[in-house]
Amino acid sequence: MSGLLLALTLLSAVPGTAGSGGSVDGRFRAANELARAGDYPGAVAAYAEVAAAGGGSASLYWNWAQAAAARGASGEALWALLRAREVEPGDRAVRREIERLREALNLDPAEIAPEPLAAVARVVRRFHLDLLAAVLLAASVLLHGLARLDPGVRGGRAAALTLLALGLLAATAPLAARLARPTASVVRRGAPLFDAASPTAEPRGALREGEVVPVLEASGGWLRVEDNAGARGWARSADVRRLDRAAGE
């Protein structure tokens, strides 16, 4: 991506709550300036610092993806876009860019969506289904109480039962979303898969750049993962970044 195109696609929205003296906002703008100047490694490092400081918004991860792609780190760019989707599930531009990068990396759709319940979790966040369920259930209780106080209220109990059913239905999605396994995205081309969480362990294979893998276990700077072919092993967390946490956590 050319420097001009990158400058046009960078988002300047405030990344999150600013720290003392507006430091998060200032560092976000400084990172954007580095990207516009063509210092993509510096920009990526600056975006990582902003995310670690609590500024992990969708706009930050979008800009991070643009800078990573500009320096040829397609796996990191895809991870950043997937993180942006986690933060803002309804963003169509992010979804389109994810599909473009997935195709560029020659990945099947299933290779970036190994956990079906993760999609349910995004729907829950997008439409606030947990809050909706709570409101419906509270309204059901209220109507039921009013119907008991005044049996002459027409349709009060029927409405209460209807709201109860809708509330329980809305609550099933948040409950199912909690069962989703955490996932991580491979950001490094040829990231090795080891038979133990140790730098002296023998590599047993390599992970595909951009592939999203379920996280089975975490230990220090290592993640035990399962790739799309079913192979299990340990990978460095620097090579395979989790999608359920902000960068730096």
Give the tens place of pLDDT for each residue, 32-45. 999 999 999 999 99
Task: Give the list of residues 6+ apart from residue 171 with CB closer than 8 angstroms, or none.
Answer: 129, 130, 133, 137
Minimal CA–CA distance to 222: which of 210, 233, 234, 231? 234
Of 134, 58, 47, 132, the residue nearest 90 (C-alpha)? 58
Q: What is the pLDDT of residue 4?
A: 37
- Domain check: are 130 and 199 in the same one? no
Supply the pLDDT for residue 248: 60
- Confidence (pLDDT) at 91: 94
> What is the Cα–Cα distance from 232 to 38, expressed in whole angstroms?
39
Given a cut of 70, the residues of the chain with pLDDT beneath it are 1-22, 151-155, 248-249
Out of 106, 132, 150, a domain closes at 106
Q: Output the pLDDT for position 3.
A: 41
pLDDT number for residue 7: 43
Residues 64 and 132 placed together within one structural domain of the fold: no
Question: Is residue 115 included in any domain, yes or no?
Answer: no
Question: How many structural domains are present in the chain?
Answer: 3
CA 154 to chain centre: 47
| Continuous segment of H or E residues that includes residue 149 | helix 129-149
pLDDT of residue 219: 93
What pLDDT does 12 receive?
57
Q: How far is CA 43 from CA 4, 74, 81, 165, in A?
A: 15, 15, 16, 50
Q: How far apart are CA 177 and CA 83, in angstroms?
A: 17
Identify whether 70 is part of a domain.
yes
End position of a domain, from candidates 162, 177, 192: 177
Q: What DSSP letter does each residue of 23-35 carry, written as one string?
A: HHHHHHHHHHHHH
With 0-12 CB in 10 A as exposed, 13-18 as middle and 19+ as buried, what is 236?
Answer: middle
Q: What is the CATH number of the domain that holds 95?
A: 1.25.40.10
pLDDT at 13: 52
* Among the listed residues 185, 248, 182, the one whose alpha carbon sits nearest the alpha carbon of residue 215: 182
Report the predicted TM-score, pTM, of the whole model to 2 decimal places. 0.85
| Euclidean distance between the first and the last CA atom of the chain, given in angstroms as a whole number | 29
In a domain, 227, yes or no: yes
**Host domain of residue 221:** 183-242
Residue 11 confidence (pLDDT):
65
How far is the C-alpha of 192 from the C-alpha of 18, rounded, in Å? 38
- Which residue, chain included where needed, has tokens 């995310």? 51
Q: What pLDDT is recorded for position 249? A: 59
* Residue 145 · residue 128 · CB < 8 Å: no
